[in-house]
Structure 1
Amino acid sequence: MPLGTLDRTPPPFFRQGYSALTRLVFFSSLAVFLMVADTRFEVVQHLRAAIATVLHPVQLALRVPVEMVAGGRDYLQGLQHALAAERSAQQQLAAQAAALARAGQLEAENQALRGLLALGPAVAPRATAAEVLYEAADPFSRKLFVDRGATHGIRAGAPVLAAQGVLGQVTRVYPLASEVTLLVDKDAAIPVLNRRTRQRSVAYGGPSRGSAMELRFVPGNADVMPGDELETSGVDGVYPPGLAVARVTSVERLAEGGFARVRLVPAAAPDGVRHVLLLDPLGTLMPPRPATEARDDAAPRAPGP
């Protein structure tokens, strides 16, 4: 075979093209040019959109196994949570049924005892449901406005309840709305009764907007401790007795003073409340005072010696 007919070209594996440095500089320059051009002129925006559209079905198909695994895990966890919640609900239902039976028995006994003592029936104030419209914009007070007013029979001084307990008191009535001052307002006060010790005191709103409530003028040696629950005492003629008001969070017995600093957290959180219940003031449901007693109170008293 003649030597001229032999193929002397090297195999593709041994062919020498552009150097690695040249290719690095070229592709780096091309990348920088494309980034600058896309940033300034958005030349590849349509190309990117087209590629994203083409790859979208592929992405959805690749996500199916992951979603199946995650969905199966969530389903099993949700099933376990649902079963646990069902068991807890059944236990609570049984406990509530027992408590309801005891409450019915106690109510019957209460009526029998009131009959033996020749007492009148227990006062049941009228309740009106209302919805919170908005919160007052005053940064120095805590007040709400509800959608029930004088045309709905609402009176000034009406107690306002949430699901957890007393929320506040109606302080101003308009024809179609009412202003509610919350218990955490700095000017609010409510007589309370300690459920554990049966001691009466007065709970006040916090001195600042961010603070909760506090008991004032409590002796330093008073039997009060964190965790004590406070309820309405019913002696003010406004709030029915036995409604949850607050819980004691801390007690500071100051050595330099004769009083203790008792901080409270309200039973009904004022934030996030949407629906409330307005009760008639307890004093409006009481029987009228005898005329002679009213005249004695209205008569001027002689000054003392």
Structure 2
Amino acid sequence: MPLGTLDGTPPPFFRQGPSALSKLVFFSVLALFLMVADARFDVMQPLRAGLATVLYPVQWLVMRPVVWTQGGAQYFESLKASQTSEEAARSKLALQSQRANQVEQLILENTRLRQLLDLRDRVTTSSLAAQVLYDAADPYTRKVVIDRGVLDGVVAGSPVLDEAGVLGQVTRVYPMVSEVTLVTDRDQAIPVLNTRTGARGVAFGDPALRASALELRFMAANADVQAGDLLTTSGMDGVYPPGLPVARVEKVERRMDSAFARITCLPLALVSGVGHVMVLKPLTAQVAPRPAAEPAPAPARKGLRK
């Protein structure tokens, strides 16, 4: 092949366009122009909006893991905060409930103390306020222990009242505490007076019938006793002052095979759950002692003359 027929131009691989400096200057000027035009005339806003619309699904998919991670973290944080708030609310509710119960108990205790003070004003004998500490350990008796004893002037046989009526009698006295036998104890008896008829009787504790019941014994079957009659102390025993409320008749059973009626009474005093009581001096301590008998004159001796 003759040499003159050969193409002397370089192949495309070795062809070179504008220089790098020319390209740098051109694109710099173009960029500056576009920036000025976009700042003045917003010529790139449609392009920017179109690119944002096209790229939004890609952006949404890329952001999903980040959003899910943040949502999970916020869920667990909110769950923990909710559990903490719930525990705090439960604790506050329990505390408020406890305070409400204490307030109700204090109101009830205050009411009973006021009634006890009113009863104290009506009783003419000297009295001493006391608080019930606990019930006696013997399950076969009805006794309580109060916080007053010999050091406070309590003596055996002293009547014990609450705000409603006669509660019992002091049976044992210790230096700082005393034991009170309740009127419902099976070995306890108290002379009573029916305020409606004026009939006297004796009320005995009868726990065999009911833990908080009394029985008015030795009343004739035809005695005038009705349900609802009020029984008060008669003062015949020298222990209880007369006129103190004791019990109210609940039921009267008249049996043909017995000469006595079976009369069940309910004590007016709070024999179960009493908190504060009043201790009176027994009537025997208030009655003046019997005067001593005068000695008889000595008989005159026989055979003596003046």
Structure 1 SS opposite 2:293: helix
Q: Matches of 2:231 and 2:279 in 1, distance apart? A: 20
Indicate how the Cα distance of structure 1 residues 214 and 58 shifts in structure 2: closer, same or farther if over 3 A, else same.
closer
Q: Matches of 1:171 and 1:211 in 2, distance apart? A: 19
Q: Matches of 1:190 and 1:57 in 2, distance apart? A: 61
Partner residue of 1:261? 262
Partner residue of 2:143? 143
Question: How far is 1:50 from its partner?
Answer: 5.6
Structure 2 counterpart of 1:158, which letter? S
Based on CA coordinates, which of the two structures has the bigger radius of gyration?
2
Indicate how the Cα distance of structure 1 residues 59 and 189 shifts in structure 2: closer, same or farther if over 3 A, else same.
closer
Q: Matches of 1:250 and 1:239 in 2, distance apart? A: 25
Partner residue of 1:115? none
For structure 1, which runs of at least 5 residues remain unmatched after alignment?
A: 1-47, 61-99, 101-106, 108-122, 296-305
RMSD between superposed Cα atoms in Å: 2.8
Partner residue of 1:176? 176
Partner residue of 2:246? 245
Q: Would the aligned equivalents of 2:212 and 2:266 in 1 still touch at CA under 8 Å?
A: no
Map 1:261-300 to 2 at 5 A: 261-292=262-293
TM-score (norm 1): 0.57
TM-score (norm 2): 0.57
Structure 2 SS opposite 1:242: coil
Question: How far is 1:53 from its partner?
Answer: 2.5
Question: How far is 1:228 from its partner?
Answer: 0.1
Question: How far is 1:241 from its partner?
Answer: 0.6
Indicate how the Cα distance of structure 1 residues 49 and 288 shifts in structure 2: closer, same or farther if over 3 A, else same.
farther
Alpha-carbon displacement from aligned partner over 1:229-253 (angstroms, at most 9, x marks no partner): 0000011110011100000000000
Structure 2 counterpart of 1:173, which letter? V
Question: How far is 1:155 from its partner?
Answer: 0.5
Indicate how the Cα distance of structure 1 residues 58 and 130 shifts in structure 2: closer, same or farther if over 3 A, else same.
closer
Percent of aligned pairs with the same residue? 54
Map 1:38-187 to 2 at 5 A: 52-55=79-82, 124-187=124-187
Q: Matches of 1:49 and 1:216 in 2, distance apart? A: 75
Question: How far is 1:58 from its partner?
Answer: 10
Indicate yes or no: 2:222 matched with 1:221.
yes
For structure 2, which runs of at least 5 residues remain unmatched after alignment?
A: 1-74, 88-117, 296-306
